[in-house]
Structure 1
Amino acid sequence: MSADIIYIHLETVSNLILSYGISLQDFAGALKRLPSHLLLLTAVDPNDNVDSHTGFNVIGGTDDILDYFDDRKITVHKWIDFEQSLYLEQLTPIEVSQLLYLGHAYTHLESPFYYKLQNNYVYLTLPDQTVKTYYRYLEQFYRVLNRSLKRHLQEQLPEARFLFRRRSTIPNIDPIILKQLQPLFIDGALFSFEEIGFLQKEIHIPIYGLTGRFRAVNDAWTNNVQEKVAELIYDQSLQKWRLSVFNEAAFSSQGLF
C-alpha cells in the first residue's frame, strides 16, 4: 500500500492500538525511556542470544535495542519488553505458552501485561503490515502519535519540507487535542496526508471515520464507507495546532474493536 496515511483503531479494555503508518522509529523516538530488555516472539535464531528458560531470543541494553529498532532489514517485529532477566526464570510453562500464542495468533489469551515481566509494551507486526501495540499506559501512545503526525507532515509535501526544515521547528500537538480524538479511534480513524490542504498559512490534515474494517492492501480503505469528520490544523503564523470537528456525532461513538 502506497497511500500516505495514519490509521488508528483503539480497543480500550486492553489498551490495544491497531495502526498503519506509525513506524517503529516513531514509537521508539517518542518514548521517554527505552525498554530495558526485549523478548522476541519471532522465530528463534540460534545464532543470537537465546534465553535458556523460555527458549526465546532476547535483546538487552540500550545500544543493542536501538540497533534492533533501526535495522531496516528486519520487516517483522514481534516482541514484549521485560525489566530483569531474573524474571524470565519465574515464568511458568503456561505463561510461556501464552507468549507463544501471542506471537503466533497476534492476540492475547489473558492480560498482555505480566506481573513477572513488568512489561509496558507488546509490539506485533501483522502479516498485512498493520501493527498491534499494547500500552500499559495509554498516554504513551499519544506521544507516539504526535511524533508520527509531525513526521508525515514533513515528508509528504515539498512545501512542508521547505517550511519545516527541522522537526524541532514544528511544535508538539497539545495532548488534549489528540485525546479528543479517542472516541473516534474506537471505531477507527484515518489521517490522510495525501489530501493535505493549504489555506493561507494553515495546513489542514483531513481525518476520516471508517465504518468498515481497514485493509492495508491495494488502497482498499477507500472502498469503505467513510466520512471526513474532522481536520487537524496547523497554523504556521501562530505555531499552534487545533482540531476542527465536522461531525460531533462521530466523536460520541461507543463502538468496540
Structure 2
Amino acid sequence: MPEEIIYVYYDTVGNNVLSKGIVGQVKDIPLKNIPKNILLIKNDYTNGTYDDYTGFQTIRGQANVISFLKDGLAQPHKVGSWIDFSNIEMLHQLTPVEISEILYIGHAHNYLHSPFYYKLQNNYIYLTMQNGFTKIYYRYLDEFLDHFADAISKRMEKFVNTRKRIFQKEQTVSAFQISDKQEMIRLFREGVCFSFKQMTITDAVYTVPIFIVEDKLATMKTPFSDTEAVGSLTYNKETDVWGLDYDLS
C-alpha cells in the first residue's frame, strides 16, 4: 500500500525542507544537479573511499554517485546523511573548524554558520532523520518543488490502481503541475500534511484533505478532524484533471 501521508515543512531561513512520504516514491533520482562527489557525513555505507584529510568516507565520480543514490531509492534509510562537493583539491582546503561544523551537521541536523560552503560548492545537504523523515538543504528550491509534484502524481497513480479490476490495464495519471510556485512555498512554510489515509472517493473524483501540522509531527499518527482541513487536493479519474484549493486566512 502506498505511503498514506505527505508532510512538508519549508524553513525559509535555512532553505531546507523537512518532509515525510516523498523519498522512495519516485523511480528517478530527484536531483537536477547530480553531484560529482559526495562526502558521507553520517552513514553505514562501506563501499566508499576513506579520506584521510577529513576522516569521512567519500563517493568519488558521478557514475559512482548515481549508483549510490539509486540504491538509496529502494532503501532510503541506507542513504544516511551526505553533502556534495566539487573536487578533492578544494575538499582538502577545509579548515579543522569547517570539518567540525560538517560533523556537527551530521550529528545535530542543523548548521552553525551556513549550509553552503564556498570550498565545497555544494548544492545539497541530505539528512536522514528518524521515523522516515528527511531534511534536505537545497541551493535551488525549485528542485524540491519538481520532486514534490512528481511524488504527488506517482502517489495518486498507485492509489488509483489499487482499485482496478484484475484484468484491467494499469492506469496512468497525468503529471501534477504547480501553477504558482510562490503560493505553494507559502503553503509549505506552514508545515502541511496531505492525508491520503483520509482520502475520499466520490464517483471518479479522489479528494485528499490538507491539514496544517506546523512542527507538531506527533499529531500525524492519528486521523485529523475533517473540520480542521484547510484545503484539498483533487484528481478526477475520468477527465484526468487535478485541482488544488486551500485557504490559509
Q: CA RMSD in A?
A: 3.0
- CA distance in 2 between counterparts of 1:106 and 1:55 reads 19
The alignment status of 1:229 with 2:233, answered yes or no, reads no
Instruction: After TM superposition, list the pairs within 5 Å mapping 1:171-250 onto structure 2.
Output: 171-177=174-180, 179-211=182-214, 213-215=216-218, 220=221, 222=223, 227-245=228-246, 247-249=247-249
Give the drift of 1:4.
1.2
Name 1:255's counterpart in structure 2: none
The alignment status of 1:60 with 2:64, answered yes or no, reads no
Give the drift of 1:28.
5.6
Name 1:51's counterpart in structure 2: 51
Aligned pair count reads 243
Aligned residues of 1:212 and 1:225 also touching (Cα < 8 A): no
Instruction: After TM superposition, list the pairs within 5 Å mapping 1:1-257 onto structure 2.
Output: 4-24=4-24, 26=26, 29-43=29-43, 48-71=48-71, 72=74, 75-76=77-78, 77-157=80-160, 158-159=162-163, 165=170, 169-177=172-180, 179-211=182-214, 213-215=216-218, 220=221, 222=223, 227-245=228-246, 247-249=247-249
Gap runs ≥5 in structure 2: none
Q: When the two structures are superposed, what TM-score results if normalisation uses the length of structure 1?
A: 0.81
- CA distance in 1 between counterparts of 2:227 and 2:59 reads 42
Give the drift of 1:87.
1.5
User: Following TM superposition, where does structure 1 have runs of at least 4 consecutive aligned residues deviating by more than 6 angstroms?
Assistant: 44-47, 160-164, 223-226
- CA distance in 2 between counterparts of 1:161 and 1:173 reads 25
- CA distance in 2 between counterparts of 1:62 and 1:174 reads 30
Q: When the two structures are superposed, what TM-score results if normalisation uses the length of structure 2?
A: 0.83
Give the drift of 1:212.
5.4
Q: Alignment identity in percent?
A: 32
When residues 59 and 27 of structure 1 are mapped into structure 2, their CA distance, relative to the original with a 3 A threshold, is farther
The letter of the residue matching 2:87 is Q
Gap runs ≥5 in structure 1: 250-257
- CA distance in 1 between counterparts of 2:191 and 2:169 reads 29
